[in-house]
């Protein structure tokens, strides 16, 4: 275990909440904001847990219709970061002992995320040819199968949250609440709504309030649901639930700002897809409004605020603190 240091250099974050400036990874001036967790190892370990669970429980690629299950696996097992399921797991662990049914529920968020990428990449949407360094789903399987692979993943998210052989030790009332969170985060009032706002905003001037509305919905609501579901899974109390919701909202925004920054600063190799595409498409972004440095600072402020929300949590919440920092400092 080393102190948090994402890539060798220290990460400086102004922690506004208590007016204290804390430097992570160098001199730590706060009792509570030292984060004795190697977040990269933590993320890799959890990613492996998710990947192994997926491999073991996804329908066999030979199951008819084979092309559907192949296409689903193609996008799902393409080396995603698994940030959403890891958030569910890390949130549950921040509270207490986790139920055995944590994993199928956590994976549901990856299904929703992956289906949204497949649909988003379609020619009639963003028309992207590459994703995670490989041709997009529709480039390999054609548009029709890609649409249906997305639809299959969408339904599978709810299947895995409700199947009696996968979810074995949850209180059914809690299970229903989890499903409602997932549906609301994914649907018209969440991610799908955000994608529509995003499409409507292309090629025209968008102010900050509108940009935030887009991102709160497009990325934020599903991340928020992933965290809240982790809290529900572990039986969080009302106050914990509220603080964790705040944490999720802050990292959701940080995540999107960092994404916009990466679209400017990242290389095609790092991103696994073309860089600079937002600008080409006339998309409004945080770097376009605040400049590159201003946007980076804003993302760091969000991460710091997120960490501040965890003041009442003990060291079991360190992975959540580490994730907040990781989100703004990642290179892909």
Site for a copy of itself in 112-141 (CB under 8 A): 115-116, 119, 122-125
* Binding flags for a copy of itself, 172-201, as an x/- string (CB under 8 A): xx-xxx-xx-xxx-xxxxx-xx-xxx-xx-
CA distance 43 to 3: 15
For residues 43-82, which are near a copy of itself according to CB under 8 A?
59, 64-65, 67-69, 72
Question: Is 162 a residue that touches a copy of itself (CB under 8 A)?
Answer: yes
Task: Give yes or no for residue 164 binding a copy of itself (CB under 8 A).
Answer: yes
Count the residues in the chain. 332
Using the contact rule CB under 8 A, the part of the chain among 18-26, 158-166, 250-258, 275-283 near a copy of itself is 158-166
Q: Least Å distance between CB 192 and a copy of itself?
A: 4
| 20 binding a copy of itself? (CB under 8 A) | no
Query: What are the backbone angles phi and psi of residue 100, rounded to the nearest 5°?
Result: -65, -25
Q: Does 243 bind a copy of itself (CB under 8 A)?
A: no
Quote the tokens at residue 233.
């899974």
> Is residue 19 at the binding interface for a copy of itself, with CB under 8 A as the rule?
no
Provide the mask over 278-307, with x wherever binding to a copy of itself is found by CB under 8 A and - wherever it is not. Answer: ------------------------------
Question: With binding defined as CB under 8 A, does residue 245 bind a copy of itself?
Answer: no
Residues binding a copy of itself: what is the number (CB under 8 A)?
A: 57
Is 148 a binder of a copy of itself (CB under 8 A)?
A: yes
Please report whether residue 104 would count as binding a copy of itself according to CB under 8 A: no
Write out the residues near a copy of itself by the rule CB under 8 A: 59, 64-65, 67-69, 72, 115-116, 119, 122-125, 142-145, 147-148, 150-152, 154-156, 158-159, 161-164, 167, 171-173, 175-177, 179-180, 182-184, 186-190, 192-193, 195-197, 199-200, 213
């Amino acid at each position: 275990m080393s102190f948090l240091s994402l890539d060798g250099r220290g990460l400086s974050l102004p922690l506004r909440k208590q007016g204290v400036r804390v430097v992570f990874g160098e001199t730590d001036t706060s009792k509570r904001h030292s984060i004795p967790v190697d977040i990269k190892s933590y993320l890799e370990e959890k990613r492996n847990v998710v990947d192994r669970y997926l491999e073991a429980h996804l329908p066999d690629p030979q199951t008819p219709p084979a092309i559907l299950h192949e296409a689903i696996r193609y996008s799902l097992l393409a080396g995603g970061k698994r940030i959403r399921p890891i958030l569910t797991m890390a949130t549950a662990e921040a509270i207490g002992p986790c139920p055995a049914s944590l994993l199928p529920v956590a994976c549901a968020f990856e299904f929703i995320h992956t289906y949204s990428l497949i649909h988003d990449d379609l020619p009639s949407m963003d028309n992207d040819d590459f994703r995670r360094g490989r041709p997009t789903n529709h480039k390999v399987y054609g548009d029709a199968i890609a649409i249906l692979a997305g639809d299959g993943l969408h339904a599978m998210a709810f299947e895995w949250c409700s199947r009696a052989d996968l979810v074995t030790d949850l209180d059914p009332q809690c299970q229903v609440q989890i499903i409602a969170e997932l549906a609301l985060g994914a649907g018209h009032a969440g991610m799908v709504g955000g994608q529509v706002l995003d499409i409507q905003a292309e090629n025209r001037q968008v102010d900050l309030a509108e940009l935030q509305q887009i991102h709160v919905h497009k990325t934020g609501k599903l991340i928020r649901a992933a965290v809240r579901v982790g809290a529900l899974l572990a039986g969080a109390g009302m106050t914990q639930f509220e603080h964790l919701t705040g944490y999720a909202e802050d990292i959701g925004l940080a995540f999107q700002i960092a994404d916009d920054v990466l679209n400017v600063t990242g290389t095609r190799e790092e991103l696994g897809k073309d860089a600079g595409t937002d600008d080409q498409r006339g998309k409004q972004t945080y770097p376009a409004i605040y400049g590159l440095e201003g946007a980076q600072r804003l993302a760091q402020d969000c991460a710091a605020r997120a960490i501040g929300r965890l003041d009442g949590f003990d060291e079991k919440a360190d992975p959540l603190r580490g994730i907040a920092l990781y989100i703004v400092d990642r290179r892909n």
